[in-house]
Amino acid sequence: MNLQGIKDRVGRLFTGTYHSIRTKLLICFLIVTLIPLFSLGGLSYYQSAKVINSQFGKYGDNAVAQLEQQTSSALGRMKQTAETIYSYLLDPSHSGIGAGTPSTYGDIMEKNDFESLLKSLRTQLTAGIYIITTSGYYYGENNLDVNKLGNIPMWSTKPKAYAGTYWLGFYKQDHSIKSSDSDNVPVIGLAVPIHHPDKAQDGSIILIEESAEELLRSYAKFEADTHAHLLITSPDGTVVYETDAPYTPHDNDVTWSRTLGVNQWTMEARVPAKAFYQSSGVIRANTMVVAIVSCLLAFGIAYLFSSRFTSRIRTLKDSMQKVSFGKLDTRTPIEGRDELGSLDMSFNRMVTGVQTLIGEVEQSERLKKEAELRAFHYQINPHLLFNTLNSIQWKARLEGAEDIRQMLYHLTMVLEGNLDISQELVTLNRELRMIGHFLKIQEIRYGEVFRYELDCDEALLPYLIPRMTLQPLFENIFFHAFTDGQGEIHVKVEEDHDELVLTLRDNGAGIKEEKLAQLFSPEMKRKGRGGLGVRNADQKFKLHFGPLYGLKVHSIKGEGTTITIRWPKKEESFDDESRVH
């Protein structure tokens, strides 16, 4: 399952559907690391491979040149020896050297002189110097078995008539008279026929053999060092020497070639291109390994770094998502004091703010709902009430009870104002008129025992005021402040810049201090009916115009109460006007 996850992730990474910051960071990182890495690696590979290839090429060239030199000097030495012998034999004073076995004193003297020359021609490397005559007798060290000369591979194939030199190539020396000790050292051979007509020596062959051990060792060392295939061919195409290992020549082989000046042998060393470039291949492989390791390292570091980075963003994102689902008490942990930390901090602050705000909105919404519910409660079938009242009023008129009719009329007016909930804001004029009706009822009830004074500029009357805010206050005055309706009520409306100030003053009983303090407190349980009117009125103002506005109560026990209401000027819009009708 985990594997599947990784697979998915990798898949997304490569198809490009995974556009996370991490991926981008990762790619960014890799690009930043890999471009210099690969360019540097590639450059150094190219450079060093070039140097190495050219050096190896030069080395091989030099090595072949050295082999050629070594071989040439051996061949040259042998040729020189043969020439010396040849010229010795051509000397007329040495005519005693014949084809047969020397048996006379004079012949033996000649033979001894000649053989001492041959001995003096020997060097460290000389393996054999013989002059084989037509009779089968030979000059030279007494260790040759003429019958075994056929063991030399090219001895029997040498052409009957030839002049100059005949190179026998490399072979194991196997013509010793001693059958037992056949050390069979590898030698290189040269046969030179003597053309000396009219002389007994004519037809003899000078055989020069030089130890090839050192040469072959050099060849082997060269082959081992360079893994080259060495091929020496004579001009007629005969293979003189070839590396043991099987080899198929290719066109792209690296070839070093030399021709020996002594006998026109061609020396050719071939290295398969693969082997030739092997050392640079090693560099390439190393570069690749380093690149891959660096790549993985970069990937790892990038992954680590980006995951640390993006995980914080992710946490923040998750927090935001939770908030968007409504979990407002979500807070994101603050890690570090960097930009992301401050982002976390701002986020937390913002969520706190939103939470508070939503709390407030919720609160006011709930109050509004409550008020509406209450209003709805009062609204229950006002038509029945009004019809009934009208009927009573009409009956009172028939009965001639004028004061009852009056009272019913004012009550109807007051109720109409109270129950009309179509508008929350009404003109000051209307509210004051309703207060007038309310006071008429009180007057009928108590008689003309109180005084009401209104001090309001005509111009202020169209301004709006929340509905049913003043009436409860007046009710309070009659129920709590006055006894039997006796007292004075003074209402004054003023304008203060953009605001209106209404002062309601009475000279009633006043409010006790402890009660005054509880007046605006919502927690206070309703005790009787007192105080509710003040708070409701205050809330209505605050609801409509904001918390800055509302009621202020100033009261001295026994001397009366002054309520000051302050709210912004607001005229009834045309829209509202049309709605009234």
Partner 1 sequence: MKKKMSWIALVSVMTLMASLLAACGGSGGTGASKEPDGNASGAATTLRFATWDTGDALKIEQEIAKKFEESHPGTKVQVEAYADGFDQKLAAGFGAANPPDVMYMWDFPTYHQSLEPLDDYASKDKDLNIDDFYQGLFNYGKMDNKLYGIPAGFTTRVVYYNKKMFDDAGLAYPSDGWTWGEFQEMAQKLTDKSKKQYGFGVRAENDTYDLQGFVWSNGGSFISEDGTTIEGYMNSKETAEAIQMLGDMLKNGSAVLTGGKGQQSGEDIFKAGKIAMWESGIWPLESFRDAGIDVGTVEMPAFPGKPLKGVLAESALSIAKDSKNKDLAWEFIKYYVSDEAIKMRVADLPVRVSVVNELKKDQDPLYKPYYTMLERSDNTPAFLLNPKWNEVNRQLSAAVESIMFGSDAGEVLNQAVKDSERYLK
* Cβ–Cβ < 8 Å for 522, 535: yes
Decide: is 109 part of the binding site for partner 1 (CB under 8 A). Answer: yes
| 414-424: b (≥16 Cβ within 10 Å) or e | bbebbbeeeee
Regarding 213 and contact with partner 1 (CB under 8 A), the answer is no
Alpha carbon distance 511, 507 (integer Å): 11
CB of 108 to partner 1, least distance (A): 4
Q: Which stretch binds partner 1 (CB under 8 A): 24-32, 134-142, 249-257, 553-561?
A: 134-142
Phi-psi group of 546: left, alpha or beta (phi > 0 → left; psi -120 to 50 → alpha; rest → beta): left
- DSSP symbols for 453-475: EEEE-GGGTTBEEETTSHHHHHH
* Of positions 31, 43, 65, 108, contacts partner 1 by CB under 8 A: 108
350 Cβ contact list (under 8 Å, min separation 6): none
Residue 554, C-beta contacts closer than 8 angstroms, at least 6 positions apart? 561, 562, 563, 564
Nearer residue to partner 1 within complex by CB, 138 or 241: 138
Element of type H or E holding 269: strand 266-271
Spatial separation of the C-alpha atoms in residues 15 and 22, rounded to whole Å: 15
Of residues 2 and 179, the one with the C-beta less far from partner 1: 179
Stretch that binds partner 1, among 70-78, 103-111, 401-409, 562-570 (CB under 8 A): 103-111
Query: Which ranges in 272-381 belong to alpha helices (H)?
Result: 273-276, 278-324, 339-378
Q: Which stretch binds partner 1 (CB under 8 A): 136-144, 152-160, 462-470, 484-492?
A: 136-144
Question: Looking at 2, 17, 104, 422, which residue binds partner 1 (CB under 8 A)?
Answer: 104
Task: Kindly state the smallest distance separating residue 131's Cβ from partner 1, in Å.
Answer: 11
∠ CA 160-147-173 to the nearest 5 degrees? 90
- Please, which of residues 82-101 interact with partner 1 by CB under 8 A? 101
- Please list the alpha-helical segments (H only) found in 174-271: 213-226
Q: By C-beta, is 112 or 352 nearer to partner 1?
A: 112
Helices (H), 486-548: 513-518, 532-545
In total, the chain counts a number of residues equal to: 581
Residue 144 interacting with partner 1 (CB under 8 A):
yes
CB 502 within 8 A of CB 541: no
Distance in angstroms (rounded) separating the CA atoms of residues 175 and 182: 9
Beta carbon of residue 135, minimum distance to partner 1 (angstroms, whole number): 11
* Shortest Å distance, C-beta 194 to partner 1: 18
Q: How far is the CB of 137 from partner 1 (least distance, A)?
A: 6
- Taking CB under 8 A as the criterion, the residue among 136, 235, 281, 359 binding partner 1 is 136
103 contributes a contact to partner 1 by CB under 8 A:
yes
137 touching partner 1, by CB under 8 A = yes
Residue 574 touching partner 1 (CB under 8 A): no
C-alpha count within 13 angstroms, C-beta hemisphere, residue 512: 5
**Span of 143-151, 299-307, 309-317, 361-369 interacting with partner 1 by CB under 8 A:** 143-151
Binding mask 154-183 for partner 1 (x = CB under 8 A): -----------------------xx-x---
Q: Is 145 in the site for partner 1 (CB under 8 A)?
A: yes
Residue placing its CB nearer to partner 1 in the complex, 152 or 240: 152
Minimal distance, residue 132 CB to partner 1, in Å: 10
Q: How far, in Å, CA of 474 to CA of 472, rounded?
A: 5
Binding-site size, partner 1 (CB under 8 A): 20
Which span (23-31, 68-76, 135-143, 160-168) binds partner 1, by CB under 8 A? 135-143
Q: How far is the CB of 346 from partner 1 (least distance, A)?
A: 56
Q: Do the Cβ atoms of 221 and 228 come closer than 8 Å?
A: no
Could you tell me the smallest distance in angstroms from the CB atom of residue 297 to partner 1? 34
- Cβ closest to partner 1, residue 144 vs residue 208: 144
User: What is the nearest approach in angstroms of partner 1 to the Cβ of residue 109?
Assistant: 4
- Kindly calculate the radius of gyration of the chain based on its CA atoms and give it in whole angstroms: 66
Closest CB to partner 1 among residues 13, 121: 121
Question: Residue 130 Cβ, how far from partner 1 at the closest point, in Å?
Answer: 10
Position 493 contacts partner 1 (CB under 8 A): no
Q: Residue 205 corresponds to which tokens in the numbers above?
A: 């062959």
According to DSSP H, which parts of 122-189 are helical?
none
Confirm or reject binding of residue 281 to partner 1 (CB under 8 A): no
Residue whose token pair is 């709006």: 464
Closest Cα partner for 437 from 465, 462, 417, 458? 417
Q: List residues near partner 1 by CB under 8 A.
A: 101-105, 107-109, 112, 122, 136-138, 142, 144-146, 177-178, 180
